[in-house]
A and B are shown apart, each in its own frame.
Chain A
Amino acid sequence: MTTAAETLARPARVGFASRAWRFVARHSLTVYALLAVAYLMLPIAIVILFSFNHPTGRFNYVWHKFTFDNWIHWNSVLGIQSALEKSLEIALLATFVATALGTLIALAIVRHRFVGRGATNVVVFLPMSTPEIVMGSSLLALFLNEQNTIQLGFWTIFIAHVMFIISFVVVTVKARLIGFDRHLEEAAMDLGANEWTTFQKVTLPLLAPAIIAAALLGFALSIDDFVITYLNAGPVQTFPIFVWGVARVAVPPQVNVVASAIFLVAIGLGLANVVWQYRAAKSTRGGT
């Protein structure tokens, strides 16, 4: 009886230490991950939180009172609406043009052998690896000339944005093209589709995920670009330039509102993409 009691008691004591250790071992990664997520998310949470603040003075640093006013009258700050509109306009246009051009460049690089193919391949990567300040100032040097034929403004920003978005589009679409079975296009032509129909019905639908991903990435890069844009903007105010301007005095809560809105839209698009991919995967891999 006693021996039985001893053997029962001992594992219990050892068990406590090892159980504690196991608890730490099991949960330390979770704790670490949560801390990392908190570190990333805290600033965004504070931005969103202070978009609902009703500051006492000019400075939106101290929590005073909850209000929806900033969201309702988001455009009551002078210049914020036109700056946001300008940014969206540039981002949409530049993304569209850069995605179209980048997709075609990727097709050319992967599909065809031509003089200067290697050089194109390298040059296309340059904007990704060049520091923004270098790219911005060299573009400025290009646009500024004696005759002053090019006016800094909307179109110079547009040209700059198209330039750096193209790199990302080419890289993304190229990755998809390299794994592309050329027999699929041959099969389409074999079945009576000419080059254009083949591109429309087979090539484009199969490249679509990469093209959409590239466009989303390009849009995100364009809408928040500051360094290159600032150097080539002339009198035009995009949203980042507007924020930089008002930040020298005091950032109104409306800036938080717009920032929060952009964040929420991005999260929404991301979620929609995940759901769409999941549905697509389910519909093709499901069944028996």
Chain B
Amino acid sequence: MAVESRERPDRGQTPGQTPNETVDVRLDHVTKSFDDVVAVDDVSLEIPHGSFFALLGPSGCGKTTTLRMIGGFEEPTDGAIYLGEEPVTGRPPYKRDVNTVFQSYALFPHLSILENIAFGLRRRGVRGKEVRGRVLDILRLVGLEGLERRKPRQLSGGQQQRVALARALVNKPRVLLLDEPLGALDLKLRKQMQLELKAIQHDVGITFIHVTHDQEEAMTMADRIAVMNQGHVEQLGPPDELYERPASAFVAGFLGVSNLLSGVVEDPDGVRLADGTLVQAQVDGKRGPVAAGVRPEKITLGESGGQNRLPGTIAETAYIGVATQFVVDTPAGTVHVFAQNIDSGKRIPVPGSNVTLSWSPESTFVVERGEEMSE
């Protein structure tokens, strides 16, 4: 399959904006409790048609439960779910125009690959030669032609994963649900499948909802990500927006590495840090105790990085080839810096040396102080 040409998906062109006007899935104040545990707490979402949507979060955040409610395997305790304009709350899975790729693949062990994929078609009354034709077409799409007579046990993990995908896609559902579909694959295969899945989604144009705990996977594949934590949606947006402007300390910490410096909002554009330094940032109307955040790669050793400055002492350095990581002790807290090794001759500061850190106000974000923060 030619995926190389699609390695750069065309996301980012329309950041923050829906790819299409029609909404495929809508969750309206959905809550799900198991006994006294609230798994999903008042979640409202709109998933536009044709998007690759990721539900991202740590285990137990409610992302899989949310997916299972869309699929019809769990019923919400409260709230409503719509597929397009149709309310589907209370409908069994076989009356919903969605298909699921399960984490365990859930291929029928007693049926051949052909019959596994044909299962959905036969339930829809497709008969005769058309079944075989459509199965063979979809097998070609996922790159498994010639394996239709095998049993699932005879296939490798990666091949089983593709069969599970084909079995769902062949029904041309309105929405495809993927529950950690790549979790069981090794790293190399996972990377390859991420790009393939993205390419397939691009080809078929079906809305994909993808549950994952792997932020890199979500960023690679999805054009919109909902970060979930403890049953809530913390933030929803395109990957670059989540990374550049995280809305909470949790999102900042979950997607990549962040330096979060405790402080208090002082004027409309500034945060006074614990040591008295004033950091310029877009405060967006927040008040009181906050944290000013900056990504490690946005900080420059020296004064050329921008108006925000912080003195410090280098505590540790780690040379990793493409870049050097520094841990810098500053009066406002420990700061991680990620400097690309562009100039070969450049001398790398050794631990113990005093440096000035600088970065621009544009790359500074302000979040409410979260429980995750140690300071």
User: Given A183-B106, A184-B106, A197-B123, does the pair A190, B151 have CB atoms closer than 8 Å?
Assistant: no
- In the complex formed, the residue of B with least CB distance to A187 is B106
- In the complex formed, the residue of B with least CB distance to A283 is B151
Indicate if B110 sits at the interface (CB-CB under 8 A): yes
Indicate if A2 sits at the interface (CB-CB under 8 A): no
User: Given A186-B106, A197-B123, does the pair A192, B151 have CB atoms closer than 8 Å?
Assistant: no
Q: A112 to B171, alpha carbons, bound, how many Å?
A: 31
Q: A84 to B171, alpha carbons, bound, how many Å?
A: 55
Min CB distance B94 to A, Å, is 5
Pair B123/A193 contact, Cβ less than 8 Å? yes
Q: A191 to B99, alpha carbons, bound, how many Å?
A: 7
Chain A 163-195 interface mask (CB, 8 Å, partner B; 1/0)? 000000000000000000101101111111111
Q: Which of B72, B106, B154 contacts A284 (CB 8 A)?
A: B154
- In the complex formed, the residue of A with least CB distance to B151 is A284
Q: A287 to B150, alpha carbons, bound, how many Å?
A: 8
Q: Which of B100, B104, B124, B150 contacts A190 (CB 8 A)?
A: B100
Interface of chain A, main secondary structure: helix
Indicate if A220 sits at the interface (CB-CB under 8 A): no
In the assembled complex, which residues on chain B have CB atoms less than 8 Å from the CB atom of A194?
Answer: 92, 94
User: Given A190-B71, A194-B94, A206-B109, does the pair A287, B154 have CB atoms closer than 8 Å?
Assistant: yes
Chain B 147-174 interface mask (CB, 8 Å, partner A; 1/0)? 0001101100000000000011001000
Pair A184/B108 contact, Cβ less than 8 Å? yes
- 20 A-B residue pairs with Cβ-Cβ distance under 8 Å, sorted by A, are A186-B93, A186-B100, A186-B102, A186-B106, A187-B102, A187-B106, A187-B108, A190-B71, A190-B72, A191-B99, A191-B120, A191-B123, A191-B167, A191-B168, A192-B94, A193-B119, A283-B151, A284-B154, A285-B154, A287-B150
In order of increasing CB-CB distance, the 9 nearest A-B pairs are A192-B123, A191-B120, A183-B106, A187-B106, A189-B93, A284-B151, A190-B100, A190-B93, A192-B94
Chain A interface residues toward B at CB < 8 A: 181, 183-184, 186-195, 197, 201-202, 205-206, 283-288
Question: Besides A190-B73, A195-B92, A285-B154, 9 other CB < 8 A contacts?
Answer: A181-B104, A186-B93, A187-B102, A191-B119, A193-B123, A197-B123, A283-B151, A284-B109, A287-B150
